[in-house]
Amino acid sequence: MNYILMGPPGAGKGTQAKKIVEKFGIVHLSTGDMLREAKKSDEVISKLLASGQLVPDEIVVNMVKKRLEKGDVKKGFLLDGFPRTVNQARELDKTLKSENMKIDAVFFIDVHFEEAVKRISGRRVCSCGASYRVDFIPPKVEGKCDACDSELIQRTDDKENVVRDRLDVYEKQTRPLIDYYKNMGLLVNIDGLKSESEVFEDIKKRIIEAK
């Protein structure tokens, strides 16, 4: 059971990814999380993330290749935020082939531009991994995490001007992947405007049907 989760920033990929991996006992591979860890010791990556631009394919592809060599992925994995360019998708295909693995489905969660801007600019996160939306899922005490009481922060790349740049990057570089996976017969469209639990139910249903 190997899946890809795709969609514009703000589609709810991170939230859905957590639910999917927990439900199906597979490994969560988020290149965004890996890069946020890498930026702590890498100035170039840090600047790219803050600007909303993509990190060069070569860096991300190598990171994912190394991760796919670990034994735990054999129980199944969910790629979240990767691939983001057609070139990354081709490199992934080559890697999977050489490791005797394949992708079973690509879930594409779609939301329109303005909804994505609204969702991301209202997002606040905690270092413990919890995530809130000030307009929709606010914490009980403003600015504090319900789970661990730490200070909530806004990711630099969630500021509204950067969000618009990230969406622009998505339209130009990532959207072409929809056709790439449609042509391979792997694309599953998911309506991202539905509630969080409805989106999860839709994905879950498709995974169970395919098993």
- Residues in contact with ligand AMP by CB under 6 A are 9, 31-32, 35, 48-49, 52-55, 60, 81-84, 88, 157, 166
Min CB(170)–ligand AMP separation in Å: 9
Q: How far is CA 203 from the centre of its chain?
A: 15
Question: Of 79 and 187, which CB lies nearer to ligand AMP in the complex structure?
Answer: 79
Give the residue from 197, 196, 176, 178 showing the smallest Cα distance to 188.
178
Question: Of 52 and 192, which CB lies nearer to ligand AMP in the complex structure?
Answer: 52
Q: How far is CA 150 from the centre of its chain?
A: 24
Distance from C-alpha of 84 to C-alpha of 75, rounded to nearest angstrom: 24
Min CB(208)–ligand AMP separation in Å: 26
* Torsion 22-52-126-136 (CA) sign: negative
DSSP secondary structure letter of residue 174: I
Catalytic residues: 13, 84, 123, 155, 166
Say whether 137 sits in a helix, a strand or coil. Answer: strand
Min CB(81)–ligand AMP separation in Å: 3
Question: Of 5 and 26, which CB lies nearer to ligand AMP in the complex structure?
Answer: 5
Question: Of 98 and 156, which CB lies nearer to ligand AMP in the complex structure?
Answer: 156
Residue nearest to ligand AMP (CB): 32
Give the residue from 31, 47, 177 showing the smallest Cα distance to 107.
177
Min CB(79)–ligand AMP separation in Å: 9
